Amino acid sequence: ALLQSADQAAIKHGGELPPSIAEQLPQRLVDFCQEMNRQLGDEAPMTPGLREEFGRRIQRRILPYVLLCQTAERFYAKPRGYAGDYLTIEWMYRNETAGQGPVGRIVDAAILDAQPCRAVRTRRGVLAHAIRETLERQESEKVQVASFACGPAEEVFDVLDEMDDPSRLEVSLVDIDWEALGHVSGRLEKERRGKSVKLHHANLVYLAAGKETLPLEGLDLVYSIGLIDYFEDRFVVALLNYAHRILAHGGRVVLGNFHPRNAGKAFMDHVLDWKLIHRTEESMNEIFAASRFGEPCTRIEYEAERVNLFAEGVKR
């Protein structure tokens, strides 16, 4: 009702929203997302069928307004086949509001400031820290790192920008999306960093299944930020097995995954049709133990919002 009132008020006031509406809309949207999670979340006392039915009803009412937002429209449209593609992630990193009309811009700002988007921005730092940590452990030696489903790979540029000797770091970026690799390639060329970074167009499902190969071996760190949330446990185990095979002795793998405490999960599931597999610490420990790593995670970290966990395994 507030969204509808805001839209009507903007029409009446020549495209401007009265301050009384503009000020309360972002917080009301946050409150609504949290209420959705309480009523329709995985822990809600409602059957899955009813959750889906109420989710569809909410989507029909709210989606027309949400699609006025630049970011949320791309979440929903999935032009690259999935919601969290390289450009969507880049927009979340930039945190620049855009949308149609005042309602679109305000709702876009609210969504960009919602917990899941804040988590995406802060998780970038966790992986940059993992790369720095690997460099520090190996002192003057060269360090080999691979990123699976690299997207815009901003964390790599963050590290390269602060290095006195970037040649110490050799990064292999793997992605199935040619546009993502093209985006990174353009930046590498502009910043003249081609010697430090290699791009690989490959299907990680095929790599994990042994149907495709890449010239990767003896790596010190393998990581993935936003990949395994889209896949069932069996694939994650296979991916870990592949990572184990290409890591050096003592090398580490770090996999990021959304945690069930994500307060925006129901909104993502039902309004944006962005369904991810949220995993607990226990789930990640079981997956690692079932893989060639053969034991629970050696460490689990979180970004500042504690919505994304990062599970680490060491090749013994």
Written as six digits, the tokens of 295 are: 């034991």
- Among 278, 266, 262, 261, CA closest to 56: 266
The reported pLDDT for the residue numbered 195 is: 81
The reported pLDDT for the residue numbered 18 is: 87
The reported pLDDT for the residue numbered 192 is: 86
List 313's β-bridge partners, or say none.
Answer: 253
Question: Average pLDDT of 254-265?
Answer: 96
Residues 68-125: pLDDT tens digits? 999 999 999 999 999 999 999 999 999 999 999 889 999 999 999 999 999 999 999 9
Lowest-confidence pick of 95-104, 220-229, 244-253, 271-280: 95-104
Contact indicator for 310, 281 with CB cutoff of 8 Å: no
Residues 301-312: pLDDT tens digits? 999 999 999 999
For residue 139, pLDDT beyond 90:
no
Contact indicator for 271, 83 with CB cutoff of 8 Å: no
Residues 5-36: pLDDT tens digits? 998 998 888 888 888 888 899 899 989 999 99
Mean pLDDT score of the chain, rounded to an integer? 94
Question: Average pLDDT of 275-293?
Answer: 98
List 256's β-bridge partners, or say none.
Answer: 310
For residue 143, pLDDT beyond 90:
yes
Residues 160-211: pLDDT tens digits? 999 989 999 999 999 999 999 999 999 999 988 878 899 999 999 999 999 9
| DSSP strand pairing (308-314 vs 299-302) | antiparallel
For residue 241, pLDDT beyond 90:
yes
List 174's β-bridge partners, or say none.
Answer: 148, 200
The reported pLDDT for the residue numbered 243 is: 98
Residues 38-50: pLDDT tens digits? 999 988 888 999 9
The reported pLDDT for the residue numbered 271 is: 96
Question: Please, which residues have CB within 8 angstroms of residue 234's CB and are 6 or more apart in sequence?
Answer: none
The reported pLDDT for the residue numbered 17 is: 87
In Å, what is the CA distance from 81 to each residue of 74, 75, 119, 236? Answer: 11, 10, 22, 20
